[in-house]
Amino acid sequence: MANVAVPQSEYQAPKERGWYKRNEIAVTPWLFLIPGILFFMVYVIIPIFQSFYYSTLSWDGLGEAQNVGLANYAELWDDGAFYTSLKNNFIWLALYLLAIPAGLFIALLLNQTVWGIRLYKSLFFFPFVISQVVVGLVFGWFYDPTFGLFNIALGWFGLGPINVLGDEAYVTYGIIAAGLWPQTAYCMILYLTGLNAVDPEQIEAARLDGAKRLKMLWYVVVPQLKPATFIAFVVTIIGALRSFDLISIMTNGGPFGSSRVLSFYMFEVALSEYGFRMGYGAAVAVVLFLIMLVFITYFLYSMYNEEKGR
Amino acid sequence: MHKFLKASTAALALAVAATGANADGHALSGDLVIFSDMSNPAPRAVMEGMVERFGEMHPDLNIELTVIDREAYKTQIRNFLTANTPDVANWYAANRMKPYVDAGLFEDISDVWEGQLSEELASTKGAMTLDGKQWGVPYTYYQWGVYYRKDIYEELGLKEPTTWDEEKANCQAILDSGRKCYTIGTKFLWTAGGWFDYLNMRTNGYDFHASLLGGNEKWDSPEVRATFANWKELLDMGAFVDNHTSYSWQESLPFIVSGEAAAILKGNFAVPPLREAGLDDSKLDFYQFPAITDGIAMAEDAPTDTFHIPSGASNKDAAKAFLKFVVSAENQTLINAGDALGQLPVNSKSSVDDDKFLLEGFEMLSSNSPGGVAQFFDRDAPAEMAKVGMEGLQEFMVKPDNLDAILARLDKAAERIYK
């Protein structure tokens, strides 16, 4: 029971703390980030600059590379196939956005409590779960000019047959329609979760003030869905710009190259069966990157603003 | 049938075992990795059969076979030749293997060809030779030509055409009976290349054709325009099935099976699926593509499929033994038989199977093709040119009026590609 007090003379000052201990709070987040940063650098950032470099080469990917300066870009400048792809890319961007209002519409439709609503929700969500390749195949059969359902249905109205995927006038729209099917489901699920967070009191208040239908939707519900809309916008834009698998499966870029987009054209000249032009493909990739950069900048800017506003 | 197979397998095993003992004197061991594009049902069975028989001959050898979808293989080969290299890989002859030869990715196997083999495979040696060396071995080749519905021709009282006028007259009669003359599926472009090959070889001859694809002639020339003018005659008649841009060649077959189209210009690989779909020899027949310009020697397409050893292979001894086994006379007879690949053996000591189409094709290539034998549009032209070219051909088939723009585009591309 002897509580012996430590004499002053024997007091030991705490040891000098290590460098890590002193800077723990500043350093630890970076330590945790290192693997992520490393992978992001190796797989995203460095390849971007590599693409810039490759786009100045004439290289078949196997043999000796030759520096040709900006010759690849000069060739792009009057390459008809490039402009077709660029035009299709913009058509994709514009029409793919239809998935957002369509998704909102279906979400509003499904946002009610009826017996079995979960089943309906899953059914509407289903197309997003299946692979794009399967979607492409299914729509390929659907559009088949001789045996497909689409033309049989047109026949009921005395129309058609229309060879959707074999006609350069319709082919891009036909593929976008196929792409909208899963994309709409994706936007729908985003809005369904968003709708859960809509404040019922505000709805009640709006109702007392006499807001109805479209006005209610536009001035009360949609503003509260802004975070969901933002995400839907981001994923749809990205989806439109990387629309590759559907084109590859449904038309292989045809007929005579009229359904190509930049990402597919890049693949074709650089990596496909007849592609041996890494430099030219990289030049296409750089153009695609610059287009994406516009959107990426906008996204980052608006996210930054949001953070700042808090 | 079964007995025959067994007997020949045994004979084969004996024969190769004997030569193997002489040549190497030691047993093969280790792993042999084979990547193959023989993914259609019949070729796949052939490939698996070869591996099994080769495995029986070399029990210490562990053979790993990977069969990759034929279309996907064409893009994957670039990856696996540079990393993760197999010991044996399929590919194609002539210009099509040039990028890999130039890049040093295929092994020079001239030593395999030395002596006896060069004699036995004389007919395809040229297609396997670049820079005076051999870079692989062929395992099969096949004729191209018109496969037609015999019963429809008989019903309409038509005969196999030998001239362009007869061809067009036949086609008109077929169209009048409410059918289409030819089925074709151009979704993957190369089928249109076959039509151009034949029309151009018949209009201007083999030498001009080879020179055009070799980059020594202009596309916008009177000769090429004459070829397209002949093609346009068929297009204006409405000779081809509608909507061919939507179909692969396999998807275009139902039209000839159902009788909605009377014929197809195709390689002999179309015969097994057509037979399977119910067209027996009384309904399906073959004729050589008819002459167009008088006095021009007939020339044919006969593409050769091949095996190569990547230069990064780890078991080259076993790989070379496998290649020798593939081209041996007995194996060639076996794998090219009508119930296997249904194509022509590359070894002159092999026997052609007793099959109507194979006999006719063999006869045609050996005695009625004095002009020369081409590989195919996309194997004779450099890959990039083939791509631009076949796209132009497909566009022409849909919009013949765009011809001027198409030819100008091809010339512009050619200027860059062949320089």
Written in H, E and C, the secondary structure of A215-241 is HHHHHHHHHHCHHHHHHHHHHHHHHHH
ipTM of the complex in this document: 0.78
**Residues comprising chain A, all counted:** 310
- Pick the more confident residue, A229 or A145: A229
* Inter-chain CB proximity A274 and B387 less than 8 Å: yes
Contact B301, B375 (CB under 8 A): yes
Burial of B297 (0-12, 13-18, 19+ CB in 10 A): middle
Q: In the prediction, which pLDDT does B147 show? A: 93
Helix (H) or strand (E) holding B148, with range, is strand B144-149
Question: How close, in Å, is residue B384 to chain A by CA atoms?
Answer: 6
Say if A263 is an interface residue toward chain B (CB within 8 Å). no
Q: How confident is the model at residue A220 (pLDDT cuts 50, 70, 90)?
A: confident
* pLDDT value at residue A151: 87
∠ Cα B184 B188 B189 (to 5°): 70
Which residues of chain A does B398 touch, with a Cβ-Cβ cutoff of 8 Å? Answer: 166, 255-256
Percent share of chain A, pLDDT over 70: 95
Question: Residue A136: CB partners within 8 Å, gap ≥ 6?
Answer: A178, A245, A246, A248, A249, A250
Cα B125 from Cα B93, distance rounded (Å): 10
Name the residue among A254, A268, A274 with its Cβ closest to that of B245: A254
Q: How far is B194 from chain A (nearest CA, A)?
A: 16
Q: How far apart are the first and last CA of chain A?
A: 58
Query: CB-CB: which of A143, A268, A274 is closest to B386?
Result: A274
Which one-letter amino acid corresponds to residue B37?
D
Q: CB distance A274–B392 less than 8 Å?
A: no
The closest alpha carbon to B252, from B63, B42, B54, B397, belongs to B397
Distance from CA of A292 to the nearest CA of B (A): 27
Q: Where are the beta strands (DSSP E) in B237-283?
A: 261-267
B167: its two tokens: 């061809």
Of B187, B378, B386, the CB nearest to A252: B187
**Alpha carbon of B55: minimum distance to chain A alpha carbons (Å):** 32
Find the CB nearest B187 among A75, A254, A277.
A254
Tell me the three state secondary structure of residue A80. helix
Residues of A in contact with B378 (CB under 8 A): 274
The partner residue sitting opposite B75, judged by closest CB among A144, A255, A272, is: A272
d(CA B87, CA B107): 10
Report pLDDT for B18.
Answer: 43
Alpha helices per DSSP H over A116-170: 117-129, 132-143, 149-156
* Tokens at B303, concatenated: 């593409």
A142 in contact with B, Cβ within 8 Å: no
How close, in Å, is residue A166 to chain B by CA atoms?
A: 5
Interface test with B, best of A256, A258, A276, A278 (most B CBs within 10 A): A256
Q: Which two tokens stand for residue B334?
A: 């076996």
Name the band, by pLDDT with cuts 50, 70 and 90, for residue A5: low
Interface test with B, best of A274, A277, A278 (most B CBs within 10 A): A274
User: How does residue A4 score in pLDDT terms, banded at 50, 70 and 90?
Assistant: low
Q: Is A252 on the interface with B (CB under 8 A)?
A: yes
- What pLDDT is recorded for position B63? 92
Interatomic CA distance for residues A176 and A95, integer angstroms: 7
Q: CB of A251 within 8 Å of any CB in chain B? A: yes
SS3 B10: helix
Give the minimum alpha-carbon distance from A250 to chain B in angstroms, rounded to a whole number.
9
- Tens-of-pLDDT digits for all 419 residues of chain B? 454 444 454 444 444 444 443 444 457 888 999 999 998 888 899 999 999 999 999 988 999 999 999 888 888 888 888 888 999 999 988 888 888 888 889 999 998 888 888 888 877 887 888 888 899 999 988 899 999 999 999 999 999 999 999 999 999 999 999 999 999 998 888 999 999 999 999 999 988 998 898 888 999 999 999 999 999 999 999 999 988 988 889 889 999 999 999 999 999 888 888 988 988 888 999 999 999 998 888 888 888 889 999 998 989 889 999 999 998 888 988 888 877 888 888 888 888 888 888 888 888 887 787 887 888 998 888 888 888 899 999 999 999 999 999 999 999 989 888 87
Number of helices (H) and strands (E), helices first, in chain A?
A: 16, 2
Q: pTM of this prediction?
A: 0.81
Cα angle: B73, vertex A278, B134; to 5 degrees = 55
Q: Encoding tokens for residue A284? A: 């296409």
> How far apart are alpha carbons B377 and B386 in whole angstroms?
7
What's at B51, amino acid-wise?
V
- Residue B381: left if φ>0, alpha if ψ -120 to 50, beta else—which one? beta
Place of tokens 């593409």: B303
* Per-residue pLDDT at B5: 47
Instruction: Give me the sheet containing B61-67, strands edge to edge.
Output: B61-67, B30-36, B88-92, B304-308, B137-141
pLDDT of residue A305: 87
Contact assessment for residue B287 and residue B160, using Cβ atoms and an 8 Å cutoff? yes
Specify whether the CB–CB gap between B185 and B252 falls below 8 A.
Answer: yes
Strand, helix or coil at B64?
A: strand
